[in-house]
Chains A and B, each alone.
Chain A
Amino acid sequence: MSGRVITVTSGKGGVGKTTATANIGAALAGLGKKVVCIDADIGLRNLDVVLGLENRIVYDLVDVVEGRCKLRQAMIRDKRLEDLYLIPAAQTRDKTAVSPKDMQRVCDELRKDFDFVLIDSPAGIERGFKNAIAPADEIVIVTNPEVSAVRDADRIIGIVEAEQKGPAKLVINRINLELVERGDMLAVADVLELLAVELIGIVPEDQAVLVSTNRGAPIALEPKSKTGQAFRDIAKRLSGEEIAFSSTDGAGGFLGRISKMIRSGETKRK
């Protein structure tokens, strides 16, 4: 087996990288893929709490890199999905405890046993980000339909291309169709026009994400949730399935507006 290493990054903090990593990971595992998520945000560990695995941590990524444990020992199996694992970040160290080479070595090892290695990158473009993208085969950029997030995403897309890790794929997170409709939020089409990259997901703004994070249970595992469906669609697209964007996702500003008029007759996706 030679798995794919996918790094989730954004430039700007707080756009939903960790939530996206957890949910895409859970959704991929739900599709029957073997998945390991690595928290590369050393010193600011968070993927463990979002996945609800914080009580099981014994060893972390830095322990692996510094030889205090075997890779297997740092891998925490998810309580819900048997093919989902987490390698947590160290909390008491900083980004310099790991090098890009270390990340490559760890990922090369993981590639043998997993279909997907998902890396949750820290914000910024410094050492932690460099560590996170070094082993990546593909880069997923998470952004919000908002000026500073889009600007930072553009910068990251440029860096990813310069590092020959591109073309990056884009997830637009926290879109609020009411605000788009009112003319007070950038539409999906606007963001795509500005960034000129491939779209791989549109995730609505949804308070249920907060609730699921409070519980440590990814929303991607809630079958009825529209937001969960958005993450499951991303997982399917990453697995190579052709999943069309629906106008109800907010794909296409003009298209979205027209389709809203005829939506009443449309059956909701399950």
Chain B
Amino acid sequence: MRSFADLLSGKSRSAATAKERLRLVLIHDRSSLPPGVMEELRDELIEVISRHVEVDRNAVRIEIVQEGRSQRLQADIPLKAANLRLPD
């Protein structure tokens, strides 16, 4: 299907679609983690970290990032403002 930009330029540009589809499919293919593992990992990480600091649970993001042919597990775990309070 042609995108709006394609229609404007008069080009089909299916190669860009192919590249984007491949990019996504390769991330999935390369991931050695079985389905569900990411969710489990996320929940357990939150649990462990919450023992020490208060975590903003809904904003936690865990993903696999590609760097060349290697993969990196990247976790973004925002802390709650409560942690910044001065001790009593």
Contacts and interface: CB of A to CB of B under 8 A. Distances in A.
Contacts of B68: 196
Contacts of B69: 157-158, 161, 195-197
B84 to A, nearest CB: 41
B16 A183 contact: yes
B74 to A, nearest CB: 18
Contacts of B80: none
A190 interface: yes
B11 A151 contact: no
Nearest to B13: A183
**What band does the interface of chain A fall in when counting residues whose beta carbon is under 8 Å from B?**
20 to 34
Q: Is the interface of A mostly helix, strand, loop or mixed?
A: helix
Interface stretch (B22-30, B39-47, B56-64): B22-30
Nearest to A161: B69
A147 B19 CA distance: 8
Contacts of A195: 69
B71 to A, nearest CB: 11
A185 interface: yes
Contact of A190 (B13, B19, B29): B19
Contacts of A190: 15, 19
Interface string B5-17: 0000001111110
Contact of A194 (B11, B13, B16, B23): B23
A147 B20 CA distance: 10
Given A155-B29, A194-B22, 4 more contacts: A151-B22, A151-B26, A183-B11, A193-B19
Interface of A: 146-147, 150-151, 154-155, 157-158, 161, 179-180, 182-187, 190, 193-197
9 contacts: A150-B22, A151-B22, A151-B29, A155-B29, A158-B29, A179-B15, A182-B12, A184-B15, A194-B26
Interface of B: 11-16, 18-19, 21-23, 25-26, 29-30, 68-69
